[in-house]
Amino acid sequence: MEIKPELQQQLKLELRLTPALLQNIELLQLPVLELESLVRDEMESNPLIEVDERVENAEDKESKDTIESVWDFVVDGGNLVFKEEADVFDPLSIKASPVSLRDRLLRQAHLELQGKDFEIAQFIIDNLDRRGFLALSVEEIALSLSVSVSAVESVRKQIMHFEPVGCAALSLIESLKVQAEEIGMPDKFIGAIDHVELLKKNRKQFLLKTGLSESELEEFIRMLRHLDTQPGMEVETVRIVPDMVVYLEKGFPVVRILNAKVFNFKINSSYLKSADTEELRKYLTEKYQRAINLKKAIEQRNATLKAIGEAVFFHQIEFLKYGESAIKPLSYREIAEKLSIHESTISRAVKDKFVETPFGVYPLKIFFRRSVSGTSVDFIKKLIKEIVDSEDKKKPFSDSKIAAMLAERGIKIARRTVAKYREEMGIPGAFERKER
């Protein structure tokens, strides 16, 4: 029988992002100082982009004392209430805040953990290498502190989600996967990170192993470049510049997004009119479109950040009155649903951003505390651990029994949720815990 070739139409879904959308995603992730650097680089390579002198002149007329009184402070101890109309500033004029990686992680541990868990966190943070990876095994730490391996593992997993994300990982792959989750990478891409070493050796085998298409692979590689292979490699003194400022005014939260002066650039289109060759006209048209896209992307970034900031601090209004103790549970999904945008957009926007509040500068991520039935996930895990620690080891509690005991305390969660949290903490099931 002769087999004849034939054409067939086939519907297929693929992940495709336009250049403009890719730029929006990239800019949304950047903190203000990195974004300023990107804009300055673009200015050097794009003859159509110019500093808007009107903005410069307007700033020159402002009282110099006013601008410096707002920004000339050590960020780590700052206590700024920002009520000026001018949202434009020069980030390079800000003094560096002496915040080491250790200090930065410990600050977050103070907010998230208490008692023995904080002691474990401090031990872990003190044993990170220069890359930010954990230099000791979980078992060694458990032995040193006379605690369970599951307790150490639970705290370590929480630290991995602190800023900078990926610290306290035991391997590069683990660190990259945690970072990928934080920026909202598709699950298919996160799974592909396990085989990233294969990509260096054999591209075809990598595609077969991961199930990625050629177009998905290009997007995977592009997103991979946003991950940090050494999240702890920072200079001893880092410059923390808030991306937004929030304060209460007449009982309502006010959010301001902070811009560098270069964000207000203007586009000089007069060059297009003077282009006397087709090649020059094509070159300038491309540069003009890049400038337009960049300006729109910055505006979109700021609008998205402002909307997220307002939604977050309307929810966290008690924090603006009373401080850290009043931070309430909040998820990315709640804000995403409120603003009708994707959850991964919230994750990207929050990444590496800081906010100046009446109580000092905080990572924006601090205001997203996980919860179940209005109770933080971390607190529920703590209760599960207490229940397991107090059980009769000859008759350990089943996940259903633990769920029932939590319900008696007003926390209603499903048995499978108990099992999930138990596994995340490294606690074996009832059968494995039973002493025979």
- Local confidence band at 56 (pLDDT 50, 70, 90 cut-offs): very low
- Local confidence band at 372 (pLDDT 50, 70, 90 cut-offs): low
Residue that wins the pLDDT comparison between 133 and 50: 133
pTM of the shown model: 0.54
- Local confidence band at 181 (pLDDT 50, 70, 90 cut-offs): confident
Over residues 389-427, the pLDDT tens digits come to 899 888 899 998 998 898 887 787 888 888 888 888 888
- Local confidence band at 61 (pLDDT 50, 70, 90 cut-offs): very low
Give CA–CA dist 414/408, Å, rounded.
13
**pLDDT value, residue 324:** 78
- Local confidence band at 254 (pLDDT 50, 70, 90 cut-offs): very high
**pLDDT value, residue 21:** 64
Q: How many CA atoms lie within 13 A of 101 on its CB side?
A: 23
Write down the residue that tokens 């032995």 correspond to: 143
Domains of the chain: 23-93+239-367 (no CATH), 101-224 (1.10.10.1330), 372-433 (1.10.10.60)
Strands, DSSP E only, in 175-243? none
Most confident among 76-90, 303-317, 372-386 (mean pLDDT): 303-317
Mean pLDDT of the chain: 78
Give CA–CA dist 251/3, Å, rounded.
77
- Local confidence band at 82 (pLDDT 50, 70, 90 cut-offs): very low
**pLDDT value, residue 10:** 61
Q: How many CB atoms lie within 10 A of CB 176?
A: 22
DSSP state of 193: G
Most confident among 190-199, 302-311, 342-351 (mean pLDDT): 302-311
**pLDDT value, residue 419:** 87
Q: Over 70: is that where the pLDDT of 363 sits? A: yes
**pLDDT value, residue 68:** 30
Give CA–CA dist 72/92, Å, rounded.
11
**pLDDT value, residue 64:** 34
Look at phi and psi of residue 211 and say left if phi exceeds 0, alpha if psi is from -120 to 50, else beta.
left
Two tokens at 106?
């410990």
